[in-house]
Structure 1
Amino acid sequence: MTELFSETSKLGKRGTLVIPAKLRQRFGLKEGSLVITEETAEGILLRPAVAVPTTSLTQEQIEELLLEGINSGESTDIVQQDSDDLRQAAQKAKKS
């Protein structure tokens, strides 16, 4: 089990909060990442959020975004099976 991390942070101007690097790395948070803040009985809960697109993308747009991600250097190599799976999912979505 992963050891839980605790560290005190200082609130900055306009409510800016610096999340410790160890936690940013563990949860994949980078500048511009979306987070959800919730009030709980214990205090404030902060958790990563995922943005869901509200428009449908064409197969070509999906492939272009995937290539852009690969070329950014921040992704892992895509194998042929991944490519085939993505192409099938895009074709299935296009038919729906």
Structure 2
Amino acid sequence: MPKSQTIRRSRTETSRVGKRGAVVVPARLRRKFGIVEGALVIAEEREDGVLIRPAVALPVEVYTPARTAEFLLSNAVSARDYQAARREVRKLGLDPDAIGHHRPRRRA
């Protein structure tokens, strides 16, 4: 076999599909990959089958009008852009001067 080729050997374990499609992941694999009771997993469709792997759920931030205003004002890249952001903030019913933010730097 050429040196550039490698054989990937993995240990396989068999499980049965139970009622409602439940599959028991063997304890050794649960420990190895940190899958505990109630943990989220992803079932990914592959051409040759289904890949089950750990998933991570991240909290979603819901932006308040004030937080949206902060983003608009802080992300302005020029004086013109900043003035447009101030107008958008006023459309939200907020005072741009009352929102904590970073003004864009003036270019020399």
TM-score, normalised to structure 1's length? 0.52
Cα RMSD of the aligned pairs, angstroms, is: 2.2
Match of 1:53 among 59, 65, 77: 59
- Does residue 18 of structure 2 align to residue 17 of structure 1? no
Gaps of 5+ in 2: 1-8, 63-100, 102-108
SS of residue matched to 1:54 = coil
Q: In structure 2, what is the Cα distance between the partners aligned to 1:22 and 1:5?
A: 11
User: Following TM superposition, by how much is the alpha carbon of 1:41 offset from its aligned partner in structure 2, in angstroms?
Assistant: 1.0
> 2:40 pairs with 24, 30, 34, which one?
34
> Which consecutive aligned stretches of 4+ in structure 1 deviate over 4 angstroms post-superposition?
none
Residue in structure 2 matching 1:4, options 1, 10, 28: 10
Q: Which has the larger radius of gyration?
A: 2
Q: Secondary structure at the match of 1:52?
A: coil
Following superposition, the deviation at residue 34 of structure 1 comes to 0.2
Paired AA for residue 26 in structure 1: K
> Match for 1:15: what amino acid?
G
Q: In the alignment, residue 49 of structure 1 is paired with which amino acid?
A: A
Task: Give structure 1 stretches of 5+ with no counterpart.
Answer: 57-94
Aligned to 2:31, the other structure's residue is in SS state: helix
